[in-house]
Amino acid sequence: MTPPIGYISTRSRAAPRGFREIVLEGLAPDGGLYLPEALPPCPAPPADPFPPAYADLALEVLRPFCDVAEPRLREWIAAAYSTFRDSRVAPVVRRGDVWILELFHGPTLAFKDIALQFLGRLFDALLAEKGETLNIVAATSGDTGSAAIHGVRGCRNIRIFVLHPRGRVSPLQERQMTSVLDPNVFNLAVDGTFDDCQRIIKTLFRDVAFKRERRLGAVNSVNWARVLAQMVYYFSAGWTVLRETGAERVRFAVPTGNFGDIFAGYLAARMGLPVERLILATNENDILARFFATGEYRAAEVVPTLSPSMDIQVASNFERYLYYRLGGDPDRVRDAMETFDREGRFFAPDAARDPLMAAGRADSEQTLATIRTFWERHGYVLDPHTAVGVAVGRRPGMGEAPLICLATAHPAKFPDAVRRATGRDLAHHEILDALWNLPTRVERMPADVARIRDYIAAHTA
């Protein structure tokens, strides 16, 4: 039997640790992010019957990474994906010259359900085994918060505190979070940006004494299990399109904010999935697109856009990618990230010259135009995040292989953008329409670490 993979930090040379340890911890004690010390070989493409059940494929992909008995892992995976409205979980549909990977069939109609429905069950089971509780602290620019809340609501061993930038998520996204009234759920509307929320979270986690005393854990994209669960749909979609087209390789266009989703695709490619290009698509908050163009990672002011989940200037998972591109040297990674914390920028031109990666941005007008023309030509409504991916992915110079664009949210979550683009009221879903009649609960807070630390302490006594 192959021994389970160990996990290392991007910022130190400490001995590898086990999956069960690091999945509950989130950030490493040194402030780095966990990565597997080695990647297993790419799973073999499934034979007939094709395609395989999503839960079966997930078990095949996840099993080498987890020091968990296979029957337990199978049970958690099956429970997670039984909540999806499409039995295929993450189907791909062809529209014109683009394959749309629909990742919005979960409880909150966003791609983050795919990871967080699994993660909630994983957390609760591991905590029950140890007789422990966990206080999850998360920052969200839109969809992570509601997906995390719905993944752990009602869990006896978990409390969750979700910070969102007040007035900077869509009204529907806010309602999806604040209408959950379970006693283990705490919503905090922070007077600031998503980057302020993320900064507060990172500061809390670096306070090792407070983190241990209050049993803090993370479900944001910094948690390794989230990235791991997202890898599955790259294999599922990639093999489906390769089989249907007879192509040798595929491309993925990924609407990108925190870099976790595209990093999952990067790992799938490193394992051997035949990927010609990963196309990183940003909106006006284009720190990542600028990095791949110039080699400079420089933060700017956050610009509110039609795709609020991507309104980010500090991409948490980028550090994991940087680790690979800097030769797996934790000292270089730590130096780069500390320079960024001090100066708001660093240079890594060699890391930016990656033939696997391409990047571009689409502004609000281009996003609206893409939604409009895609509807007119194909009768298919894109949400604004997915439209950014389609707009960038279809540009010349982005590769030749069949293009798969990740559809990260249901368009009904952004009805105003769809209405502006098409002139029609096309974006509805019965789950979201019902939200307006539900009571809500939310606490307004300043963007102040001490105030939020005190709030968490008071509610985790």
Phi and psi, residue 213, nearest 5° = -60, -40
Q: What is the 8-class DSSP label of residue 87? A: T
* Average pLDDT estimate for 161-169: 92
Q: What one-character-per-residue DSSP string does 376-399 give?
A: HHHS-PPPHHHHHHHHHHTSTTS-
Per mean pLDDT, which range of 45-59, 272-286, 322-336, 388-402 is the poorest? 45-59
Q: Say what percent of the chain tops pLDDT 90.
A: 79
414 inside domain? yes
Instruction: Inform me whether the pLDDT recorded for 92 exceeds 70.
Output: yes
pLDDT-based confidence at 194, cuts 50/70/90? confident
pLDDT at residue 1, rounded to an integer: 53
Residues 6+ apart with CB under 8 A from 440: 175, 178, 179
pLDDT at residue 421, rounded to an integer: 98
Name the pTM for this structure.
Answer: 0.91
pLDDT at residue 299, rounded to an integer: 93
pLDDT at residue 104, rounded to an integer: 97
Instruction: Inform me whether the pLDDT recorded for 24 exceeds 90.
Output: no
31 inside domain? no
* Average pLDDT estimate for 8-22: 94
78 inside domain? no
270 inside domain? yes
CATH number at residue 264: 3.40.50.1100
pLDDT, tens digit (0-9, with 9 covering 90-100), for 237-278: 999 999 999 999 999 999 999 899 999 999 999 999 999 999
pLDDT at residue 169, rounded to an integer: 86
206 inside domain? no
Which of 29-38, 144-153, 367-376 is modeled with the greatest confidence? 367-376
11 inside domain? no
* Average pLDDT estimate for 420-444: 93
**Mean pLDDT of all residues in the chain?**
93
- For the CA atoms of 407, 409, 410, 414, what is the dihedral angle to 10 degrees? -120
- Catalytic site positions: 112
Tally of domains in the chain: 1
pLDDT at residue 122, rounded to an integer: 92
300 inside domain? yes
Instruction: Inform me whether the pLDDT recorded for 198 exceeds 90.
Output: no
Range of the domain at 350: 92-106+224-429
